Structure 1
Amino acid sequence: MEVTMAEHGETLPEHKLDTAALYDTLRQSKASVEEAVAKMLAIKKEARPKSQLRELATQILLNFVTLRQANGSILLEEDSVKAETERAKASVELATLQLQSLLYEKNHQIKAIKACKDLDTKYPDIELVPQEEFFRDAPAEIKDSLISKDSEQNLMLKRLNFEMYQRKELCKHRKKLEQRKKALQETVSHRKKFLSSLPSHLKSLKKASLPVQQQLGVSHMKKLKQQQLAELLPPPLYVIYSQLLTLKETFGENIDLELIGSVKDAQGIACQLANKSTGISTKSEDSNSGDVPDGEDEGQRSKRLKNSSRRENLDQSGIYEAHPLKIALHINDDVAVDSNSKELIVLEFEYLKKLNVVCVGVKDSEDPENNILCNLFSDDNGLELPRQSAKLMIGDCNSFQERRTSRPYKWAQHLAGIDFLPELAPLFKVSETSNDETARNAAILSSLSLYHQQNRVQTIVQRMRARIKARIKA
């Protein structure tokens, strides 16, 4: 029966089914033995009659016999499976041997093909020109020559001679090109040597031309450098620089201009502005914060503490951060117009990026109390921010820091081209006190006159020079 099932390919499923039944028999017999042993232990504990023990012992022995039979059947089944496995293993080994033989023959054939391809012939694999090009381009002495009686071999030999002729011509052309290349390399090396020594020649030429420039009053290199640096200035400072430069060159005002600061940082800011065309962002902060004090004195004290702490926070947040480049204005005495004239004062113009205002201060001045720029025009002490947006950014302490010597004067904003509307209309107070049309017109003319004066660099320079001379005389 097993052989018949094996021939039809059903042996393994029958083995699996029989083995499962045998294992079920083993589990059932084991459970019966465990149950009988448990009952025997219970009878002994309860002191029942021993006749019940005999029946349970007989049942246990029968179960052992069943276990023995099932175990034997399982062992026989395992032997039959091992025999079938050995028979299948023999067929697999035979197929493996046949595969190895085929691979060996394949490698042998590949080696034989490679040996045939590598075999050298009388005429190596030379890529000859086609016959049409040979008959068209070959010299007559090669085409008319007779090397062999066989026509095909004669043609092949003549084509080989033409190939050798072409290669010789190419070798001659290569030698000519190498000689030309060598000559060009020598020319290039001479020119590189000249170019490497050119900066030293230019430097010596520049040094030799300095006396001539000083004699003629022309400083071309310095002026060119100043123009390149001026392109990195923010628009408000550039407007001031262009007006001061025009005043110096056109009207002959005895002043000097100088751009100071970090050029590298200014170039970085210029690159950022070139990448993104965004304006200066202003952020308004809440000005009403904190609890309301009960007493009047305590409220003033807490407000003063709050303003001082807020000023410190503003310094830390970079509200007063300035552009890296500044304009230094040297105002000289107008009595002597030569190069040895006395320097009266040096003003520095800086641009605060976040507040969008221009500040002016005296160079190396550390005393804000004795500020010569204060009230250069009436009601302009530099402590009041000219722009409402800047006041909103600062918040409660809407006045500029008193300890800073560089302050945002109104005339500096006018020079920089930063125009702003006043918080209160010029005629508001006049309209409250009087309805006279003449008074209104006079107020308008006064405001326009003051604006025109603050918008002229010549007026600013003259007032500064006059104030300094008055202080010197005093």
Structure 2
Amino acid sequence: MVKDAITDKEAPLKKRRKTTSNASSTITKVPAVDIYQTVIDYEEAEASSRDPEKDKELFRKACDDIRTMMDEITELKTKRSEDSKGEIIGRRIKASLLFVVLKKLNRLEKFRTKTSRDTMNRVKQQVDSYHLQLQNLLYEIEHLKKEVTKCLQFKSKDEEIELVTVEEFYKEAPTTLSRPEVTQTNPHQLKLARLEWELEQRKQLSALCSKLQTAKETVGKEIQTKKERLDNLTPRLKSILEVTKPLQEYLGLPLDKIRKQHQVAYLLPKPLYVLYVQADAYREACDTLMLVSVSGDEEEARLLKNTKNEEKVVEESDSDQEDNSERDKRHHRKLSRSDRLEERKKRLLLRHPLTVHITIKLKGKYFNLLSIYRDLIAPNKLLSGLFVHDLGLDSPNVANNYQLQHLGLNCFSSYISELGVPYIWVQRVAGLDFMGARTAEIMDGKSDSVEPKTSVSQASVESVMRAVRQRLKARIALCKQVQALENGSVVLPHNQRSCFPGKSSSSLSGWQLLTWDEYQAYPHTQPFVREEAVGRGDIFYSMVTSCFAPMDEHAIFHSVDGTKQTGPT
């Protein structure tokens, strides 16, 4: 039976009786004991000492015995005999004792469960403590790594100083400072020696700077003194000029006008200023019939020049203080992308408010020309093709096309009517040589913007002015010939009269100007186009005549300067 498995230790504790001795009349008292706590301690100790697997088997056996007894009690109740009643009572007692055993085992299991939970909680707390310690150690490791990285990345102030090279240091520094016997084997001592040499040089430069600053202040005081004298002299000079105006007009010396022109010329952009100076010098030295002047809005030009100077100063200051500029940009109002694009387009296509005018005059008197002949001496016809392959159809500066494409604009030829014709000879008389500058950039590896050069302008002004004057004379002579042909008053030289028929009669029925496209449309002009005898830069006329004698199918008129004027008869 299950109850036999319970040892004597499992029996409930019994209280000791009080004993009295009649002889000695002494009473012995048992000390008070907390039975409940004692039982709990005992069961806890028993739960830890017993084998859970054996208790598990004991629990199953007790349950099986209870089922068996219940079945037997049920069977005995069905018999309904007197003997069965006693057996039922006995089995009930045994079943009750088995329930006591189950309670005992249940208490032991509860103790084991509580002990396991306490152990688990204690272990979990220990694991949490270890995990927290691990996290603290990892955090400390990361902190140490960051500190090590900061130490490795730390840059001392001496690293920002641009020291001279080691070779130059040993060459220029005195031996008492360079100490080659020590510094050549010790990099630290070499660094200290170079820093000391840098400090010595800076002290010398500081002393020199102070000396130069003193000299600058002295020169500044002298300049201020002379400026004050000049300021006092200005009113006197103005009064003298006012008095000499009648003499200037009598002698033909417009000094005031020339001085004003020179003042306005200072507002010109650099290329136009070079053109004005060189052209005026050529006029004064070689060609008195040529006039050079500057016209335009003087106030707008002055405002434009001041704006560019301010932008240049701002760009220089921004390059020195990049951090401040980045911080200030956040406070400026941001323009939209379209507004910035329009602003860049406007600045790219902006024309300068001032213009340099060069007027070339010819000696003698010239007759009035009809409008059809005036086209021969129009600026777009007179200046086009002044030199070979210089028709002004494209900009000599290749960068202009890329600038226009970057802003989504058309090619440069679309803006010739607004900006002007970019003849190459015009760029050269203004001191600009894009081809030479591009070659220099390739040789030097630089990409700076082209700056006007006086030498380029001096080498081109005289040849250009002579070519313009020669072209003008040739065109006027051609106009005279064409007008004489139209009036029927052509005078032939004596040595060429035999080449023309003696009896012929013809009259001019029509005379009009043709474009290049119209000229190419005629079938009998195709040989000239294929042979490239004519080109887009030539001037074309159509002349219709009524002839009473055989003559050629079409006529070709050659101008004095070599330009062909071709037209069908």
TM-score, normalised to structure 1's length? Answer: 0.35
Q: Which has the higher contact order (CA 8 A, sep 6+)?
A: 1
TM-score normalised to structure 2 length: 0.29
Bigger radius of gyration, 1 or 2? 2
